[in-house]
Amino acid sequence: MKKHTLILKLLFINLFLIVGCGNNSKEKTKIESSKETSVDNAKNDIPTEEEIMASESDNEGIEEDQEVTIGNQVWMVKNLNTDVFRNGDIIQEAKTKEEWQNAGANKEPAWCYYDYNDSNGEIYGKLYNWYAVNDSRGLAPIGWKIPSESDWINLIDNLKVELKNDIGKRLKSVDLWVQEGKSTSNNGTNSSGFGGLPGGWVHIDGIFHSIGKKGSWWYSNEAHANSVQQIGLLSRSRLISYSFTDKATGNSVRCLKE
C-alpha cells in the first residue's frame, strides 16, 4: 500500500513539473512575441529618409522668430533661401547665365544668387524663376504659401495707410537702399515689420539688375501664358510698383503663413 502511495505521489509530482514547464514555455513565447512586436513598432516609428529630408526642408530658409504679424496675416521677415522643395527634392541652382537661360528656355525650376555670388544670399536670399514658385512639389515650407494677388492687396489694406505714398516706406527695410535722386535717404522706416530688401532681380538672359535699388517678389497667380505679376519696392519711391514679367525672370520670394 505504501509502495502504491509513493508511486502515485511521484506521478503527481512529474505531472506538476510537466504542466509548469509547459506554462513557462507559453509565457516565454508570449514575452518573446511581445518583444518582437515592440521592436517592429519601434521600426515603424523610425522616419524614412524621404520623411527626414522633407522635415528638414520645412524650415529651410526660416530662422526662429523670423515672422511678423501684420493685421490678420503672418509673414516671413526674410526672403526665402531654400534650395529644396517641400518634399525634399533638390531645386537646380544656376551658377552661370547660360544655366539660367537654359532653365528658363526648358521651363525648369531654378534659383540663383545675385551675381551668382553666394555671399549675396546671406542677406537677400535666393532669386527664383516662376517655374520653381509654381512647381507642384511646393516651394514654400509646410504651413506657408506663396502669396497671391489678393494676399498682397490684403497686406496693403492691413497697413491702414491714409497717405498712399507712405506704403512703400513702411514696407522697406531701414538700410541697404542706395540713395537716388534728391532724397537724402531712400531707406524705409519698416514700421510694418515686413523688412523689404532691395535684392534686385535677374533677367531671362541671366543678367542681374538693381540690387540696392529694387526689391521684387512673385505673385502665385499666373497672369498670362508667359507672364506673371510681381510687386516691387523702389529706392527712389515711397510707392509700391506692380508689373508683369516673364516666368523665366528671377525674383525674391516672401512666404505667408497659411
Write the pLDDT tens digit of every residue in 31-58.
Answer: 344 444 443 443 444 444 544 444 444 4
How many CB atoms are closer than 10 A to CB 140? 24
Give the residue from 174, 175, 171, 176 showing the smallest Cα distance to 192.
Answer: 171
Q: Are 78 and 63 contacting, i.e. CB atoms less than 8 angstroms apart?
A: yes
CA distance 162 to 31: 74
Give the three-class secondary structure for 150.
helix
- DSSP letters, 172-219, are B-SSSPPP-TT-S------TTS--B---BEE-TTS-EE-TTTEEEEEE
* CA–CA distance, 130 with 218 (Å, rounded to integer): 7
Distance CA 143, CA 257 (A): 6
Nearest partner of 164 among 105, 100, 98, 241, judged by Cα: 241
Q: Kindly report, residue by residue over 208-251, the tens digit of the pLDDT.
A: 999 999 999 999 988 888 889 999 999 988 889 999 999 999 99
| Residues forming a β-bridge with 144 | 257
Q: Mapping DSSP to helix (H, G, I), strand (E, B) and coil, where does residue 234 land?
A: strand
Report which DSSP code applies to 258: -
List phi, psi (to 5°) of 9. Answer: -65, -45
Rounded distance between C-alpha atoms, residue 237 and residue 49, angstroms:
48
In the chain, alpha helices (H): 2-45, 49-58, 97-105, 118-124, 130-133, 149-159, 167-171
Rounded to the nearest angstrom, the gap between the alpha carbon of residue 145 and the centroid of all alpha carbons in its chain is 8
Consecutive 10-residue runs of the chain (258 residues): their mean pLDDT?
41 40 43 42 45 45 74 96 98 98 98 98 97 97 96 91 76 93 81 96 98 97 88 91 95 98
Surface-to-core class of residue 112, CB atoms within 10 Å of its CB (0-12 exposed, 13-18 middle, 19+ buried): buried
Quick one: pLDDT at residue 132? 98
What are the residue ranges spanned by the domains of the chain? 1-46, 61-257
Task: Look at residue 114 and give its three-state secondary structure.
Answer: helix
Rg of the chain over Cα atoms, rounded to whole angstroms, equals 31
pLDDT at 162 (0 to 100): 61
Question: Cell triple for residue 100?
Answer: 539660367
Q: What is the pLDDT of residue 39?
A: 37
Residue 146, helix vs strand vs coil: coil
What is the structure's pLDDT at 160? 75
What is the β-pairing status of strands 67-70 and 92-93?
Answer: unpaired
